[in-house]
A = this chain, B = another copy of it.
Amino acid sequence: MKMSELSERSGVSAASIKAYQREELLPDPERSSPNQARYDGNHIDRLRLVRALIDVGGLSVAAVRNVLAAAEADIPLDWSMGAAQRAIPGSIDLPELPSRGVTKVDQITKDLGWMVSHDNSGRGMAARVVDSYLELDHGEFLSGLPEYSRAAAIVADTDLATVALQPSRARMSETVVVGTVLGDVLFAGLRRTAQEDAARRLYSGYQS
């Protein structure tokens, strides 16, 4: 199909498609002549993936490029997951080491028997939040860390089970990216619905 049809079928403007091509987010089209590019279903699928990561996952175009490149690199799948995680931009500043947050997070993951690399991007994210709780004089949040970790293990096991279902390495990589980026938003959404229910039970005298 031509660019006009690709735009119509994917719902993405031709200008955006061209921008994604410049960022190398799309496979090259077939060219029967220099001015005649032909696109296929793979381009539609890829555009849907890119748009979901931007519109729903909140990533920038540059972040999408980095995360897809990392996930698709020809490396073992557990490395691929770490590379994809690191490519998702922490919009946050990581803690300067050593910090109390890092010590606390390392202690908790150690107590749970988790093997976590020093450069795991989540270790820095969690540690930075713990440091903030302490700086803001909200150390009482730390008593919730074991329950947060228990919930994180449930979600992570669910995530990996979904990856294991996939029929090919390429599909596994895509699942890692989609599940990591959109899964954060899914969980944040479900957390807010659960919070409303929990708040009503605690504060309104209703019982659900």
Which residues of A are interface residues toward B (Cβ below 8 A)?
45, 48-49, 52, 55-58, 76-78, 81-82, 85, 91-93, 105, 109, 113-117, 120-130, 132-133, 135-138, 140-141, 143-144, 147-162, 164-165, 174-175, 178-180, 182-200, 202-204, 206, 208
Residue contact A189 to B123, C-beta cutoff 8 Å = yes
> How far does the Cβ of A178 sit from chain B's closest Cβ, in whole Å?
6
A120 touches which of B122, B192, B203 (Cβ 8 Å):
B192
Q: A203 with B136: in contact, given A151-B152, A160-B198, A196-B120 (CB under 8 Å)?
A: no
- Nearest neighbor of A186 in chain B, beta-carbon distance: B129
A-B contact pairs, 23 of them (CB 8 A): A49-B136, A77-B203, A78-B200, A82-B196, A105-B190, A116-B197, A121-B192, A122-B189, A122-B190, A122-B191, A122-B193, A122-B194, A123-B189, A126-B185, A126-B186, A144-B158, A148-B158, A148-B183, A151-B152, A152-B187, A152-B190, A156-B195, A157-B198
Please name all residues of chain B whose beta carbon is closer than 8 Å to the beta carbon of A187 when the two chains form the complex.
148, 151-152, 187-188, 191
